[in-house]
Amino acid sequence: MAKYDDQNIFAKILRGELPAYKVYEDDKTFAFMDIMPRSAGHALVIPKAPARNLLDIAPDDFAAVARTAKTIAIAAMKAFAADGIIVQQFSEPASGQVVFHLHMHVMPCKEGVALLPPQSRKEDPKVLEDHAARLIAALKG
């Protein structure tokens, strides 16, 4: 397995070198909107610790990511009136991993509405701002 590359896009987001539509942050995790969402409200949860994927992350850091993914999933169900949630994590290229900083996708789903194909279109910034605001509001209760 390759080593962690601290120049990946998510590492740059964590360092504030690239913008993101942040919805949640704690001492171990960071959650933000996917700019190429597969569904309305598609968010990403990443660890602050440098980890390429599931295969090299420390168990405590992965547990924190899983807890945050659950928190985001519950908020997304409410914010987007979802009928269900998909939580996905890919490790290594053969699985479909494209950005090599561990991340979990949290995608609200509606009955009868198919997910868009991965990386098929970049969402309008105003839509992403609205989706982030809706998730943040749901997180606050």
Active site residues: 103
Q: Which helix H or strand E contains 12, and what residues bound it?
A: helix 9-14
Asked whether 102 and 52 are in contact (CB, 8 A), the reply is yes
C-alpha pair distances (Å), 100 with each of 1, 21, 57: 11, 20, 12
Strands of the sheet containing 104-109, edge to edge, are: 22-25, 29-33, 43-47, 104-109, 84-88
